[in-house]
Amino acid sequence: MGLHLYDTGTRSLRPFQPLQPGHVSIYLCGATVQSDPHIGHVRSSVNFDILRRWLERSGNSVTYIRNVTDIDDKILAKAAAADTPWWAWALTHERAFSWAYDALNCAPPTYEPRATGHVPEMITLIERLIAAGHAYAADGDVYFDVRTFPGYGQLSRQRLDDMHPAPDSVSAAKRDPRDFALWKSAKPGEPSWPTPWGDGRPGWHLECSAMAGKYCGPTFDIHGGGLDLIFPHHENERAQSVAAGDGFARYWLHNAWVTVGGQKMGKSLGNALLIRVLLQDVRPVELRYYLSAAHYRSMIEYSPEALAEAAAGYRRIESFVAKAAELVGAHGAAGVGVPAKFVSAMDDDLGVPAALAVLHNTVGAGNKALDSSDRSELPAILGQVRAMAAILGFDPLDPCWGEARDEYRPLASALVQDLLQQRAQARRDRDFAAADAIRSRLTGLGVEIEDTADGPRWSLRRDV
């Protein structure tokens, strides 16, 4: 079958063929660093991290660009309200996003450009648009003339006459109320850069077109982002880049939202679940699993119960991997592939729910092998489970999931093993009351004991 992706531009599932065989270019709209990240923000990066991993697993090299919008109306407003320099406000929250991406094991992008570092490219793009008759300067601002671009509205499936005025600028100098700002003239107290049209700062849409063109080229494979970006942001990006003569994105992919009570999560609604707060109660790997488990185009309705259920699902995988690795070594069989059904699921528009079903079925087969006297298939099963989990970004044995308390494991192991030996001796002496007392003592310390045919196996409870 090969990889098929749902292209928002054509509203269809299309076979994916990269522009250059064996190499894929992806531009993902990253964070506007106005506040700390919540799980709605980070879902996009988790979903596109899975896409990148699958493309690489399929033999492609990937240029993956995730930008940072570090100049924006909201950043300026919030920084002013906090009496903080705008650049300090942006940098503080950029670091918070970087921490969240790292915590959830999103691989670093190839490049992570900031908007403020690419003003020369933006000025060049404006000059190209003015020369082509698609933009005009007025009172120090520069606007894109939507009437000059016949394809305006195609991405979002809207008719121009049905659109509301562009919300980014209100000016009597506009030729059409729906014209959107490419460049905004300098305002007192705001940062500005010199241009042929006067000092000012870039419009949001212009920033991404300039950065995508610089790092991915005039025509590239995939442009991604959240559903909320289709209009006006991606519509305007497409219009200004194509009007300037670039091919721009060949596929448009959009992930759905995380909702609370049926509403899109957002700071303005007061329903945002911050990553740094959630990770006080759930492990990062479990949150990664939760955000990965739904199809990227499906809404996730958040609830603590749903998160707990996802965490339990991950722990079933983790438990098998730990037991199997103890018996056959962490890597299992060398060079093992992933099941054909997993490949089919992932090739079908990144069908993670179906791929997860294959992963859990394989874990089930592995648990049967653990309980069997014939464990010859266990190395291959462990290899498959780890390979599938790694593609989805939550391999339990990936060193990135190491916890600070792991430095105490050698001491904990020695103490637990001593108590287990005392328990074993008590059982041999048929002093079952003493054996039960030792087990209760270990349980109280957060140690779980599982008696197996190979002897007792212990682990630390994850809630201690």
pLDDT tens profile 150-185:
999 999 999 998 888 887 767 778 899 999 999 999
The arithmetic mean of pLDDT across residues 438-459, rounded, is: 72
The answer to whether residue 160 sits within a structural domain is: no
| Residue 424 confidence (pLDDT) | 80
pLDDT digits (tens, 9 = 90+) for 73-111: 999 999 999 999 999 999 999 999 999 999 999 999 999
Whether 131 has a pLDDT exceeding 80, the answer reads yes
Q: Name the pLDDT band for 200 (thresholds 50, 70, 90).
A: very high
SS (H, E, C) the chain: CCCEEEECCCCEEEECCCCECCEEEEEECCCECCCCCEHHHHHHHHHHHHHHHHHHHCCCEEEEEECEECCCHHHHHHHHHCCCCHHHHHHHHHHHHHHHHHHCCCCCCCECCEHHHHHHHHHHHHHHHHHCCCEEEECCEEEECHHHCCCCCCCCCCCHHHCCCCCCCCCCCCCCCCCEEEEEECCCCCCCECCCCCCEEECHHHHHHHHHHHHHCCEEEEEEEEHHHHHHHHHHHHHHHHHCCCCEEEEEEEECCEEECCEECCHHHCCCCEHHHHCCCCCHHHHHHHHHHCCCCCCEECCHHHHHHHHHHHHHHHHHHHHHHHHHCCCCCCCCCCCHHHHHHHHECCCHHHHHHHHHHHHHHHHHHHHCCCCCCHHHHHHHHHHHHHHCCCCCCCHHHCCHHHHHHHHHHHHHHHHHHHHHHHHHCCCHHHHHHHHHHHHHCCEEEEEECCEEEEEECCCC
pTM score, whole prediction: 0.86
| Residue 409 confidence (pLDDT) | 46
| Residue 406 confidence (pLDDT) | 41
Does residue 229 sit in the same domain as residue 120?
yes
Instruction: Give the number of domains in the chain.
Output: 3
pLDDT digits (tens, 9 = 90+) for 19-56: 999 999 999 999 999 999 999 999 999 999 999 999 99
Q: Name the pLDDT band for 445 (thresholds 50, 70, 90).
A: low
Among 386, 401, 416, give the residue marking a domain's end: 401
* Domain ranges, residue 428: 407-460
Does residue 352 sit in the same domain as residue 422?
no
Does residue 73 sit in the same domain as residue 100?
yes
Does residue 446 sit in the same domain as residue 374?
no
The answer to whether residue 169 sits within a structural domain is: no
Does residue 377 sit in the same domain as residue 258?
no
Bigger pLDDT: 423 vs 231? 231
